[in-house]
């Protein structure tokens, strides 16, 4: 068996921090340090074999203090999931749920039911670290997916190729890779039979497989013949020789920005092919040197937001996160299309503006200075203390020395010659500005 | 006969829907999704009291919503017209009974944009 | 439903709450560390004669038979018993005695009288699609193709644009207008140049100015070849460069509004403000090539058409007249062409609620000092409607695009509009 390299360098707070950002939503205060103490293997294992879920922190609510209604109020679905990301004790499970949401990108714009989308979300979570084979079977039969990719419109007298195509193109093999247009048509036939009942005022309900609607004739898929049904469709894809390479490349790309070297690729494929289980492949990825010594990745918007809240020790307490996240390009439950979000476009300058206002909202509760006539805490006229304070407020993230120098230079420059009334008023302004700058710095936009 | 079926379905659904209720402070939420030409409710029934009714337009055309109780003397409550992808909400105080909901854009109700919300005690 | 061409952001109209606008640059994902202001300056220096196209969209399918009412056609009153405009209600249309301008379009009639408007009374395409999103998508991508994901103007910019000039394609809106969506070149969106800001709670005055400056400084720290850091650093630097570029337009203390040499319609609406800002940006030499924005109001008039159209068209036309005069005063009028379009017209027969339903061929305009001033395609007439009861197109939008690309923007249409040579190219300029 090809051995997959594992990171052998020091596993300090900064490495643990990166691991927590890539495999979760960033550290809570002090979490990186305690994770570092477990060493690489212990740290990875604690993520891939997490304890039972328990929520850490205050319950979520909207701006008026009301509990969330994730199935019945627009945006509460997004807030509900964001809250899970903030309070979870199983960050890798939650992060993999997000990965699957992108992988099997289903949008409520097409489904029209937050309830069905939440049910799909639970399904994705159930299979976060488990069998990809079982996940694929379950998602094929999932009501939200059946609506989204026209599964219930696919009938033996009028086949609809939508799901059959995306099953191969996006979920298991890659565009044009190892399948033909004929395979798309034949897969569509194999997938016929799913149906639902339209109930007035309720929409599509009672999703079920109906043998009478299924095309029972022989199909030819990937050169093989058989009276294939929908489970066979899935199985044929998973066992296709091009699936494992595709799976490895795609899963890897969520965690490490540059593709794996040939030896690693081969080793991961071998690992995956054993039983099509996700956990062992993930473990190898999270222990790989490329994660620790390779280049940085831009944090997806929801990861950036959840991480800020975790670092600030703040819960979900406003609906602003819904449109702020959307402004940065990521509204949960509404991926732009079935190909998911485009990771390479998170940070064009449109999103930079979005992130500026995300940081602003995150920091609003801890902003310094007098507020509504009440005097704020005193901020010392001391640039070093101000920068140190800003770092502490955001959970002491690791930053480049040059970034620290720039923040210090800004604080010094702003406080220089701040005499008279400025001596009193400027320090809180400067402190707020340093926190804002730190939060949007390239250091904190990436991990 | 049909009346019975509707109530029965609603009652069963209501039992199932209860855990999703947000009512600890007496405010429930119901979402109405409109497309061409359907109108679906996120839940078939809700507890009487303050109900935040939200209209979301997932269609490609302009839609609106009218809510009217079926009991005597009930006045219609109209929501503003929405462009595609628009949303709006109103908090209404609903007493127990059956409420008709429909889109009042000409022709839309006839094409199927109507539904019933059951408000329970 | 086709996905809107663009950056992968869904087309949503949920209003962002009072967020101060910032310039948003899209695309150019292979961004070089070159600073944008050099690119902008170079482009400005190289192309003082650069022709500009301004695209104005009437959202919802504006009713052709109201914009230019066929009051001289006996069928008109039969089809529109309630909505028909009276002959003489608006200015007569000089090129066809059957048609009358909507009274709210009097400012356009005035420009038409000066030879500055080409009217397209029946522009559309064969096999008309009556879904807003689909039809609008076709117009935006310049083809009857649901899967195409770049805008026709975006493809133009990919061909002639520069990788360091995000102002070459400017969407005067909260987000990118899909016609401008490129595959490679950067383009930008700004609500209004006088609203571009980076605001932070609890920070103001000179501390705030210095803070914004520091965003750029943080972005200038070398990334050591790390592409993730580079992307984040580029984004920071570009934002600040553009913030600096737009400084002249930002209100300072007592100076609340942009000062224009002509009077624009007063009020809160963004449309006249955006046009005023646009004229100022052009006068300041910013290297804009194509600009896109939406006219005020909604034109999907299923009911209450009479009142809605009257108000919305009035503001639109008055603003467009002011813009033309603004350009003339500033000596820019020879460089700018305005294209007014909508995704379809509306059904000839009115519906039962004082409105009209989706149709096919609609009305469009080209406005500017250099236009030919003659109609493109004749009025289709009410006698030969198509099988859905809609106006037949007498001009194809793809032919119009071809003419704009070749005669105005000076580029090969074939490379941008699929099958361009199939469509008749009208004469658009003098």
- Is A306 part of any domain? no
The answer to whether A328 touches A46, Cβ cutoff 8 Å, is: no
Q: How far is A70 from chain B (nearest CA, A)?
A: 8
Please tell me which chains touch B, using 3 or more CB pairs under 8 Å as the contact test: A, C
Packing angle between helix C36-46 and helix C227-245, nearest 10 degrees?
50
Residue C402 has which token pair?
């071809």
Same domain? For A138 and A275 the reply is: yes
Q: Please name the residue ranges forming H helices in C142-269.
A: 152-160, 205-219, 227-245
d(CA A261, CA A3): 12
Same domain? For A286 and A377 the reply is: no
The answer to whether A53 touches A45, Cβ cutoff 8 Å, is: no
**What residues in C contact B61, CB-CB < 8 Å?**
132, 300
Of A245, A267, A239, A275, nearest to A131 (Cα)? Answer: A275
Between chains, do B35 and A69 touch, taking CB under 8 Å as contact? no
Q: What is the ipTM of this complex?
A: 0.93
Distances (CA, A) of C49 to C254, C283, C430: 35, 12, 18
- Beta-ladder partners of A209: A194
**pLDDT at res. A283:** 98
Q: Pick from B61, B83, B106: which is nearest to C353 by CB? A: B106
DSSP characters over A202-265: TEEEEEEE-GGGS--S-EEETTEEE---HHHHHHHHHHSTTHHHHHHHHHHHHH-SSPPPHHHH
Domain residues for A182? Answer: 90-293
pLDDT of C254 over the 70 cut:
no
How confident is the model over A301-326, as a mean pLDDT?
A: 95
pLDDT of C6 over the 80 cut:
no
Q: Is B98 at the interface with chain A, CB within 8 A?
A: no
A215, HSE (Cβ side, Cα atoms, 13 Å): 23
Same domain? For A289 and A373 the reply is: no
DSSP characters over chain B: -HHHHHHHHHHHHHHHHGGG--GGGSEEEEEEEEETTEEEES-SEEESEEEEEEEEE-SSS-EEEEEEESSTTPPPEEEEEE-TT-EEEEEEEE-SEEEEEE--STTTTTTT-EEEEEEE-
d(CA A167, CA A158): 19
**pLDDT at res. C137:** 86
Q: Please name the residue ranges forming H helices in C257-387.
A: 270-283, 305-329
Q: What angle do CA A342, A344, A349 make, to 5 degrees?
A: 105
Mean pLDDT across chain A, nearest whole number?
94
Number of domains forming the structure of chain A: 2
Minimal-distance CA residue of chain B relative to A114: B42
**What residues in B contact A68, CB-CB < 8 Å?**
22
Same domain? For A109 and A217 the reply is: yes
Q: Pick from A347, A352, A426: which is nearest to C207 by CB? A: A426
SS3 C122: strand
Work out the burial of residue C117: count CB atoms within 10 Å of its CB; fewer than 13 is exposed, 13-18 middle, 19 or more buried. Answer: buried
Q: Pick from C10, C13, C131: which is nearest to B83 by CB? A: C13
* Domain end marker among A270, A293, A316: A293
- Is A70 part of any domain? no
Q: Pick from A65, A109, A115: which is nearest to B42 by CB? A: A115
- pLDDT bucket at C192, cuts 50 / 70 / 90: low
Same domain? For A276 and A384 the reply is: no
**pLDDT at res. A419:** 87
Work out the burial of residue A131: count CB atoms within 10 Å of its CB; fewer than 13 is exposed, 13-18 middle, 19 or more buried. Answer: middle
SS3 C429: strand
d(CA A34, CA A17): 10
For chain B, domains (ranges, CATH) are: 2-120 (2.60.40.420)
Q: Chains A, C: CB contacts under 8 A, how many?
A: 161
Q: How far is A130 from chain C (nearest CA, A)?
A: 30
Between chains, do A353 and C24 touch, taking CB under 8 Å as contact? yes
Same domain? For A252 and A378 the reply is: no
pLDDT tens for A141-175 read: 999 999 999 899 898 888 889 899 999 999 999 98
**pLDDT at res. B2:** 26
pLDDT tens for A34-43 read: 999 999 999 9
pLDDT tens for B21-76 read: 344 457 999 999 999 889 999 999 999 999 999 999 998 788 999 999 999 989 99
Q: Pick from A72, A199, A200: which is nearest to B42 by CB? A: A72
**pLDDT at res. C47:** 58
pLDDT of A238 over the 90 cut:
yes
Between chains, do C14 and B105 touch, taking CB under 8 Å as contact? no
Between chains, do A406 and C232 touch, taking CB under 8 Å as contact? no
**Confidence (pTM):** 0.79
Q: Is C201 at the interface with chain B, CB within 8 A?
A: no
Minimal-distance CA residue of chain B relative to C131: B60
- Is A300 part of any domain? no
Same domain? For A222 and A126 the reply is: yes
d(CA B76, CA B54): 16
Between chains, do C351 and B107 touch, taking CB under 8 Å as contact? yes
The answer to whether C425 touches C176, Cβ cutoff 8 Å, is: no
- pLDDT bucket at A336, cuts 50 / 70 / 90: confident
Cβ neighbours around C424 below 10 Å, total: 14
Q: Chain B residues within 8 A (CB-CB) of chain C?
A: 60-62, 83-87, 105-107
Q: How far is A201 from chain B (nearest CA, A)?
A: 4
Same domain? For A382 and A284 the reply is: no
CB proximity under 8 Å: B 41-70 to A = 41-44, 52, 54, 56, 58
Same domain? For A274 and A376 the reply is: no
Q: Chains B, C: CB contacts under 8 A, how many?
A: 35
Mean pLDDT across chain C, nearest whole number?
83
**What residues in B contact C10, CB-CB < 8 Å?**
85
**What residues in B contact A201, CB-CB < 8 Å?**
39-41, 44, 101, 114-117
A85-89, A252-256, C304-308 — which is least confidently predicted? C304-308
Residue B107 has which token pair?
């022709």
d(CA B104, CA B35): 13
Same domain? For A220 and A107 the reply is: yes
**What residues in B contact C1, CB-CB < 8 Å?**
60
Between chains, do C235 and A349 touch, taking CB under 8 Å as contact? yes
* Domain end marker among A293, A320, A335: A293
pLDDT tens for C114-162 read: 999 999 999 999 988 877 777 888 999 999 987 787 899 999 999 998 8
Positive or negative: CA dihedral A117, A121, A126, A129: positive
Q: How far is B106 from chain C (nearest CA, A)?
A: 7
- Phi, psi angles (nearest 5°) of residue A27: -85, 150
Same domain? For A278 and A376 the reply is: no
- Is A208 part of any domain? yes
Packing angle between helix A132-140 and helix A114-126, nearest 10 degrees?
160
Q: How far is A396 from chain B (nearest CA, A)?
A: 37
DSSP characters over A280-306: HHHHHHHT-HHHHHS---BPPHHHHHH
- Is A380 part of any domain? yes
Continuous segment of H or E residues that includes residue C57: strand C52-58
pLDDT of A292 over the 90 cut:
yes
CB proximity under 8 Å: A 55-74 to B = 65-74
The answer to whether C36 touches C164, Cβ cutoff 8 Å, is: yes
Find all residues with CB under 8 Å of A441, minimum gap 6, and list them: A399, A403, C218, C236
The answer to whether A120 touches A142, Cβ cutoff 8 Å, is: yes
Packing angle between helix A262-275 and helix A243-255, nearest 10 degrees?
110
Residue C32 has which token pair?
């070089």
Minimal-distance CA residue of chain B relative to C12: B85
- Is A313 part of any domain? no
Between chains, do C23 and A342 touch, taking CB under 8 Å as contact? no
Find which of B59, B64, B84, B105 to mutate to test the C interface (most C CBs within 10 Å of its CB): B84
Residue B98 has which token pair?
């059956």
pLDDT of C253 over the 60 cut:
no
Between chains, do C16 and A410 touch, taking CB under 8 Å as contact? no
Q: Pick from B13, B25, B56: which is nearest to A74 by CB? A: B56
How confident is the model over A429-433, as a mean pLDDT?
A: 97
- Is A41 part of any domain? no
Q: Give the max Cα distance, chain A.
A: 89
CB proximity under 8 Å: C 239-278 to A = 239, 242
Q: Are strands B77-82 and B114-120 parallel, antiparallel or unpaired?
A: unpaired
Between chains, do C14 and B107 touch, taking CB under 8 Å as contact? no
Between chains, do B115 and A200 touch, taking CB under 8 Å as contact? yes
Classify the phi-psi angles of A255: left when phi > 0, otherwise alpha if psi is within -120 to 50, otherwise beta: alpha
Between chains, do C166 and A109 touch, taking CB under 8 Å as contact? no
- Is A217 part of any domain? yes
- Phi, psi angles (nearest 5°) of residue C371: -75, 160
Same domain? For A288 and A373 the reply is: no
Q: Is C46 at the interface with chain A, CB within 8 A?
A: no
**What residues in C contact A341, CB-CB < 8 Å?**
8
d(CA C36, CA A101): 36
**What residues in A contact C22, CB-CB < 8 Å?**
353, 356
Q: Is C235 at the interface with chain A, CB within 8 A?
A: yes
d(CA C373, CA C111): 9
d(CA C416, CA C394): 22
Of C64, C238, C172, nearest to A352 (Cα)? Answer: C238
Between chains, do A74 and B31 touch, taking CB under 8 Å as contact? yes
**pLDDT at res. A215:** 96
Find all residues with CB under 8 Å of C128, minimum gap 6, and list them: C135, C344, C359, C360, C361, C386, C388, C390, C393
Between chains, do A345 and C223 touch, taking CB under 8 Å as contact? no
pLDDT tens for A362-406 read: 999 899 987 777 777 889 999 999 999 999 999 999 999 999 999
**What residues in B contact A74, CB-CB < 8 Å?**
31, 54, 56, 87, 89
- Phi, psi angles (nearest 5°) of residue C192: -160, 135
């Amino acid at each position: 068996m090809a051995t997959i390299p594992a990171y052998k360098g020091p596993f300090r707070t900064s490495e643990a921090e990166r691991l927590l950002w890539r495999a979760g939503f960033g550290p809570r205060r002090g979490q990186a340090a305690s994770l570092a103490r477990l060493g690489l293997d212990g740290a990875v294992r604690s993520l891939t074999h997490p304890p039972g879920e328990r929520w850490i922190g205050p319950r979520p609510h909207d701006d008026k203090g009301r509990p969330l209604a994730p199935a019945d109020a627009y945006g509460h679905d997004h807030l509900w999931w964001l809250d899970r990301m903030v309070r979870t004790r199983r960050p890798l499970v939650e992060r993999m749920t997000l990965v699957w949401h992108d992988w099997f990108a289903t949008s409520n714009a097409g489904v029209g039911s937050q309830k069905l989308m939440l049910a799909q979300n639970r399904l994705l979570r159930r299979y976060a670290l488990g069998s990809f084979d079982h996940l694929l079977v379950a998602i094929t039969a999932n009501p939200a997916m059946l609506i989204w990719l026209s599964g219930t419109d696919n009938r033996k007298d009028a086949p609809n190729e939508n799901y059959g195509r995306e099953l191969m193109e996006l979920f298991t093999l890659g565009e044009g890779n190892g399948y033909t247009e004929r395979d798309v048509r034949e897969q569509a036939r194999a997938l016929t039979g799913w149906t639902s009942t339209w109930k007035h005022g309720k929409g599509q309900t009672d999703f079920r497989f109906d043998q009478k609607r299924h095309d029972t004739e022989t199909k030819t898929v990937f050169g093989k013949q058989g009276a294939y049904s929908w489970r066979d469709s899935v199985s044929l894809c998973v066992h296709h020789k091009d699936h494992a390479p595709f799976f490895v490349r795609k899963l890897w790309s969520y965690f490490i920005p540059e593709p794996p070297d040939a030896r690693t690729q081969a080793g991961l494929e071998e690992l995956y092919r054993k039983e099509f289980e996700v956990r062992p492949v993930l473990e190898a990825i999270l222990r790989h040197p490329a994660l620790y010594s390779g280049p940085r990745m831009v944090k997806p918007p929801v990861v950036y937001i959840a991480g800020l809240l975790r670092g600030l020790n703040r819960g979900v307490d406003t609906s602003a996160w819904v449109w702020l996240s959307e402004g940065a390009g990521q509204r949960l439950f509404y991926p732009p299309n079935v190909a998911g979000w485009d990771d390479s476009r998170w940070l064009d300058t449109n999103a930079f503006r979005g992130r500026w206002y995300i940081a602003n909202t995150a920091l609003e509760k801890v902003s310094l200075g007098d507020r509504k006539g009440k005097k704020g805490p005193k901020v010392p006229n001391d640039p070093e203390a101000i920068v140190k304070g800003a770092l502490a407020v955001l959970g002491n993230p690791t930053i480049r020395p040059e970034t620290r120098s720039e923040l210090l230079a800004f604080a010094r420059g702003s406080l220089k010659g701040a005499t008279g009334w400025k001596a009193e008023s400027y320090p809180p302004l400067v402190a707020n500005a340093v926190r804002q700058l730190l939060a949007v710095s390239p250091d904190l936009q990436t991990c | 006969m049909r009346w019975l079926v509707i109530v029965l379905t609603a009652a069963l659904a209501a039992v199932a829907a209860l855990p999703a209720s947000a009512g600890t402070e007496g405010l429930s939420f119901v979402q109405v999704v409109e497309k061409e030409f359907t109108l679906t409710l996120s839940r078939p029934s809700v507890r009487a009291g303050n109900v935040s009714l939200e209209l979301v337009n997932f269609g490609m055309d302009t839609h609106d919503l009218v809510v009217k109780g079926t009991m005597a003397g009930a006045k219609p409550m109209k929501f503003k017209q929405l462009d595609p992808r628009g949303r709006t909400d109103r908090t209404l105080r609903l007493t127990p009974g059956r409420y008709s909901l429909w889109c009042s854009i000409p022709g839309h109700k006839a094409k199927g944009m109507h539904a019933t919300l059951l408000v329970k005690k | 439903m086709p996905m809107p061409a663009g950056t992968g952001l869904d087309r949503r109209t949920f209003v962002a709450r009072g967020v101060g606008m910032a310039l948003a640059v899209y695309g150019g994902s292979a961004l070089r560390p070159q600073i944008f202001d050099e690119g902008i300056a170079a482009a400005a220096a190289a192309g003082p004669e650069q022709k500009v196209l301004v695209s104005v969209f009437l959202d919802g399918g504006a009713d052709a038979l109201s914009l230019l009412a066929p009051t001289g056609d006996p069928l008109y009153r039969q089809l529109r018993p309630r909505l028909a405009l009276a002959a003489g209600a608006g200015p007569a249309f000089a090129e066809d005695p059957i048609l009358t301008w909507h009274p709210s379009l009097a400012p356009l009639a005035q420009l038409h009288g000066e030879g500055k408007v080409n009217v397209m009374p029946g522009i559309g395409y064969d096999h008309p699609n009556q879904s807003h999103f689909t039809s609008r998508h076709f117009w935006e991508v310049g083809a009857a193709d649901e899967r195409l994901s770049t805008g026709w103007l975006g493809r133009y910019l990919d061909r002639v644009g520069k990788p360091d000039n995000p102002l070459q394609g400017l969407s005067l809106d909260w987000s990118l207008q899909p016609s401008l969506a490129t595959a490679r070149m950067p383009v930008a969106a700004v609500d209004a140049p006088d609203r571009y800001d980076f605001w932070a709670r609890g920070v103001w005055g000179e501390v705030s100015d210095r803070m914004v400056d520091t965003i750029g400084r943080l972005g200038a720290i070398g990334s050591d070849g790390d592409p993730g850091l580079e992307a984040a650093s580029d984004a920071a630097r570009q934002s600040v460069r553009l913030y600096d570029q737009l400084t002249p337009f930002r209100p300072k203390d007592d100076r609340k509004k942009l000062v224009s040499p002509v009077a624009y319609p007063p009020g809160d609406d963004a449309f006249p403000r955006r046009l005023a800002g646009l004229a100022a940006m052009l006068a300041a030499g910013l290297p804009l090539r194509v600009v896109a924005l939406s006219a005020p109001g909604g034109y999907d008039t299923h009911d209450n058409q009479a009142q809605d159209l009257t108000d919305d068209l009035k503001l639109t036309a008055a603003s467009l007249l002011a813009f033309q005069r603004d350009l003339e005063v500033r000596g820019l009028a020879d460089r700018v062409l305005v294209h007014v379009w909508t995704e379809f017209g509306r059904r000839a027969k009115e519906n039962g609620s004082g409105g009209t339903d989706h149709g096919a061929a609609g009305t469009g305009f080209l406005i500017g000092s250099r236009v030919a001033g003659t109609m493109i395609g004749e009025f289709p007439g009410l006698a030969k409607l198509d099988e859905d009861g809609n106006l037949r197109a007498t001009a194809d939008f793809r032919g119009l695009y071809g003419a704009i690309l070749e005669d105005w923007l000076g580029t090969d249409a074939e490379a941008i509009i699929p099958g361009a040579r199939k469509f008749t190219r009208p004469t658009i300029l003098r």
